[in-house]
């Protein structure tokens, strides 16, 4: 007769259960951005726990960008976490899963060309202005974070939150290594300026095919730059 094995029952701290209960209400939209939570004492009464337990639960949700305090108020309100906050957690998870520069480059190659096409079709005048300003800032400063901002502006021009959230972790992982590559390859900056200019023009004229084509060239150029700079694409990424 075989012996049946059972998993141990997981015992969670009370504050985690309170946080999970609040999170469930946020996720199912019972609580939406801007809604105020009851005071800590009232939450403690409703959950049947100590106020310190509620405070710890709120601290956990606040660290995730799901709640925050409005200026001049002690009450917590529901907030929507910024894309970069959400993506930061994904970037760390990818780094812990031994993602390499090659993995990031391949993902960008798959994502960014269709994203550029979407931006060209959907952009509004303000999107185009921000995109061109980002390109001009790189011309002026030659700073690698301006390259990252150009990608973000392009993502915003799609008006697709899913695309923006998919893009951001990759940008965060790309930026440090891209800076190292640009510093070692003198022609890299001029090539970035050219690519950004072509993409901006295609987005301006709503030429989706050209926007996607130039973005694909732009991403492929990064790989060439890494090879010239003798930076192995098989190195694992790290998060700053």
Tokens of 196: 């950004």
CB 135: neighbour CB atoms within 10 A?
21
pLDDT at 144: 85
Q: How confident is the model at residue 235 (pLDDT cuts 50, 70, 90)?
A: confident
Per-residue burial over 17-51, b = 16 or more CB atoms within 10 Å of its CB, e = otherwise = ebbeebbeebeeeebeeeeebeebeebbeebebee
pLDDT at 90: 67
Q: Which DSSP category does 36 fall into?
A: B
Q: What angle do CA 203, 204, 208 make, to 5 degrees?
A: 35
Q: What is the mean pLDDT of the chain?
A: 89
Q: How far is CA 61 from CA 27, 111, 127, in A?
A: 12, 31, 32
Structural domains in the chain, sorted by start: 14-78 (1.10.10.10), 83-229 (1.20.120.530)
The model's pLDDT over 73-126, given as tens digits with 9 standing for 90+, comes to 788 999 887 766 666 676 777 777 788 888 889 999 999 999 999 999 999 999
The model's pLDDT over 165-218, given as tens digits with 9 standing for 90+, comes to 889 888 888 887 788 888 888 899 999 999 999 999 999 999 999 999 999 999
Cβ–Cβ under 8 Å, residues 147 and 138: yes
Model pTM score: 0.74
Q: Which DSSP category does 66 fall into?
A: S
- Which one, of 194, 178, 167, lies nearest residue 112 by Cα? 167
Place of tokens 């001029």: 190
Q: How confident is the model at residue 1 (pLDDT cuts 50, 70, 90)?
A: low
pLDDT higher at 43 or 238: 43
The model's pLDDT over 138-158, given as tens digits with 9 standing for 90+, comes to 999 888 889 999 999 999 999
Does 39 have pLDDT greater than 70?
yes
CB 99: neighbour CB atoms within 10 A?
19
């Amino acid at each position: 007769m075989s012996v049946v094995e059972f998993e141990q029952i997981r015992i969670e701290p009370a504050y985690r259960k309170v946080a999970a209960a609040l999170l469930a209400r946020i996720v199912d939209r019972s609580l939406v951005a801007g809604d105020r939570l009851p005071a800590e004492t009232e939450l403690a009464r409703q959950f049947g726990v100590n106020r310190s337990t509620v405070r710890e639960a709120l601290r956990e949700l606040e660290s995730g960008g799901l709640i925050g305090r409005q200026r001049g108020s002690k009450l917590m309100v529901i907030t929507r976490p910024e894309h970069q906050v959400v993506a930061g957690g994904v970037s760390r998870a990818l780094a812990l899963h031994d993602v390499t520069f090659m993995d990031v480059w391949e993902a960008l190659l798959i994502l960014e060309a269709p994203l550029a096409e979407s931006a060209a079709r959907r952009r509004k005048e303000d999107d185009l202005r921000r995109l061109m300003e980002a390109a001009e800032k790189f011309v002026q400063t030659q700073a690698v974070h301006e390259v990252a901002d150009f990608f973000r502006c392009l993502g915003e021009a799609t008006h697709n939150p899913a695309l923006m959230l998919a893009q951001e972790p990759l940008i965060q992982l790309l930026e440090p290594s891209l800076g190292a590559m640009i510093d070692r390859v003198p022609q890299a900056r001029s090539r970035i300026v050219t690519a950004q200019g072509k993409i901006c023009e295609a987005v301006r004229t709503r030429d989706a095919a050209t926007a996607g084509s130039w973005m694909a060239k732009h991403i492929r150029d990064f790989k060439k730059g890494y090879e010239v700079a003798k930076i192995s694409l098989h190195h694992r990424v790290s998060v700053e």
